[in-house]
Amino acid sequence: MDVTVRRVSGRPHQVKVKSFEDLKRKGSEGLKITIAMVWKMTIGNHDLNPKNYKNHLSTDKEVVFWTNLDKIMESLKVELNKSLKGNDEAHCIYNFFEMQLRGNLSDDKHDDEGWFKGLTKCDTKSEYMECKASSRIRKYYDKIADALKNINGYSDVEKVLRKFRTRLHKKKWHKALFGVTGRDADRKCDKEGKFICQGLYDKKNCPFHHTINPYRTREGRLQFQLWELDHR
């Protein structure tokens, strides 16, 4: 059965499914989210489950995937409307939190053109972030290499630097550090692009619990340019 799946906001994706679990699994894969992130799936105003999904799919083939973040945003909207009685202030507060929390996690340039404003060489967010990771590691390397040029015995140090550079080159300058598609062990962020500050280099953690997600919004991307790995 051919089914169209999409998130609450985002481009639709086509999948072929044979069962409810198949729909959930393939839909999640197509939308680049994990099954654990799925709060519910809906057609129109109807929540889908293993018993009713076939009946609803017989009349409408577009399934909306709601994530746990969508659940939080829905709860926030209800609470704001209760406390602020649905006025303009409640709407503004909700929009602010939605931009900060949800943003747009679509990787493709065509799905979030605003994120790519001012960029010309990359077609996906992950491609751009991987380039930023490798360029940052290059910058760190060059800075250290330059600082060591005038020390005694530089010829021996230079040999070590060359070997180190060769290793970095083989590792593609650790471009996977800022990516969202690589192994967990290679990434500094989670699969949605969220970075958690680890504190100063001589501390065990960050007492302020700083986080940033450059994948969500253009503002986050720009702020991330100033984000150091030890967050000093």
Backbone torsions φ then ψ of 159, nearest 5 degrees:
-60, -40
| SS3 category, 150 | coil
Tokens representing 225?
């340019």
Token reading at 129? 């972030």
Which residues, including other chains, have CB under 8 Å from residue 154's CB and lie 6 or more apart?
A: 148
pTM for this entry: 0.58
Q: Which residue has the higher pLDDT, 11 or 2?
A: 2
Flag the least confident range among 92-96, 99-103, 120-124, 165-169: 99-103
Pairing of strands 211-212, 195-196: antiparallel
What share of the chain in percent tops pLDDT 70? 90
- Amino acid identity, residue 23? L
Residue 7: is its pLDDT beyond 80? yes
pLDDT tens for residues 43-78?
999 999 999 999 999 888 899 999 988 888 888 888
Q: pLDDT band at 81, cuts 50/70/90?
A: confident
Q: Map out the domains of the chain with their CATH numbers.
A: 2-68 (3.10.20.90), 71-105 (no CATH), 114-224 (no CATH)
Task: Write down the pLDDT at residue 170.
Answer: 95
Quote the pLDDT of residue 175.
Answer: 94
Tokens standing for residue 203 = 């501390």
Cβ-contact 231, 210 below 8 angstroms = yes
Residue 5 near residue 12, CB atoms below 8 Å: yes
Q: Using CA atoms, how far apart are residues 14 and 76, in angstroms rounded to an integer?
A: 31
